Structure 1
Amino acid sequence: MVLLFAPIIFGIVAYLAWRNREVRGCRWRADSTRDKGTLRMYRCAACGAEAFTASKGPPQTCKKGLGGAPL
């Protein structure tokens, strides 16, 4: 009986992990010393990306690929 439900449970867990893969690795930390007015500065502890947000709370998506190459 357990073997019957194992693939179903595995499928549900795999779907939930796949659904949140864009933000899964990000751990946003607020940096209030670099706030600009109503914009709040956040830095990701996992990938080092930096982002400003005017909404309440940290960014919802990973910003790792934004910014282009350094000069």
Structure 2
Amino acid sequence: IIRAFRCRDDSLDEVDRYLEACEQAGRLPDAVLVDAYSPGEYGGTGKCVDWKSLIRERPHLRGLPLILAGG
């Protein structure tokens, strides 16, 4: 299972909350996909995710592979 997130800001707080709930349920996804947020649009927007923020926030991913879609 790959869980996709559209990041509205430079943090992975939404991802962290989701993964915390997954840990409590005993099942993490196999990877996390991060895309840039653009209101009302999904994919192919030309928007970039803040890569530096993703590096800083990487510990929130609990060692899961990161797939970068917004870039």
Is the helix fraction higher in 1 or 2?
2
TM-score range, shorter chain: under 0.3
Q: Between the two structures, name the one with larger relative contact order (CA 8 Å, sep ≥ 6).
A: 2
Instruction: Give the structure with higher Rg (CA).
Output: 1
Normalised TM-score (structure 2): 0.21
